[in-house]
Amino acid sequence: MQPILSADSSTTIDLFDRFDAWASALTDRDLHAWRDALPTAVVEPQIATEHPTLIRALDRVRQLARIDGTALPWLGLPFALRDTGLSAVPLPCLVGGAKAFRLKRKPDGSDWLATVRSIEEAARTGLERLHDVERFHRDAQRAIVAEFRPGALPALLALAIHLPLLSPRAVSAHLEITVAGASKLMERTASAGLLIEITQRRSWRLFLPPDLAIEFGYSPTKRGRPAREAPPLPVNRALADVFADFDEQMAHIDRLLDQR
């Protein structure tokens, strides 16, 4: 695997190539790839065993930042957290670091505290986003079941999970339907509350799931108590087949996007 964050490669690989390598590394099953690609100067001193695991992971990133001299080492934090057992897999939402890690030989307590708090906030935000995606998945299941003839609706909803920002032209290309058909399908999905149109142009339209539309300020924040979610659908063989087909649609979209 291409060493994604080593200082030696910074002069020969541009930012986009390194980011692509990082994105590929997130799904790499080699648990030692990131650690093995670190410069030999990045070491864990004996005294590190006395520090919390989170600080030990951050210190690896700090040492790399001192060598690399850019913000790119922040991309390594998800791998450092995984390598120290704080997460089962690298979580891209936990990318981060502190400017002091690059500029100060010995960051002070306030620098460490600010970094830990930023990681906590990123973890909270990531968990909320995961809950939103899971709720969208459940709402999509209900919408599919409610349709007498769902047609391309399952494929569109599966695509929305992988590519939240959608236009009729993009949907047309990915699902191999006409632009007019894609536009009507998205309007139908929006009327069910599963997508929100964030533009008002007939010739250039964009849609987002409700949670992201609120997050980016395209839709007003809901006030008061959160709406109670509808009860789970009763489990039976017919519904199980529908849900299995929807999951297969998501897997198919995932494979399709990987090939592009």
H helical segments located in the chain = 15-25, 33-37, 53-68, 77-83, 99-103, 109-146, 153-162, 168-175, 179-191, 210-215, 237-258
CATH architecture under which domain 131-258 falls? Orthogonal Bundle (1.10)
Residue 43: per-residue pLDDT: 85
- The mean per-residue pLDDT over the stretch 55-78 comes to 90
CA–CA dist 136, 189 (Å, integer) = 12
3-state DSSP call for residue 197? strand
Q: What is the pLDDT of residues 9-38, one digit of tens each?
A: 444 445 667 777 888 888 888 888 888 888
Query: How sure is the predictor about 239, in pLDDT bands with cuts at 50, 70 and 90?
Result: confident
**What's the pTM?**
0.75
Q: What is the pLDDT of residues 157-198, one digit of tens each?
A: 999 999 999 999 999 999 999 999 999 999 999 998 999 999
Structure token digits, residue 195: 């997508």
Structure token digits, residue 99: 């400017």
CA angle 258–259–260, rounded 5-degree value: 95
Instruction: For CATH 1.10.10.10, list the domain ranges present in the chain.
Output: 131-258
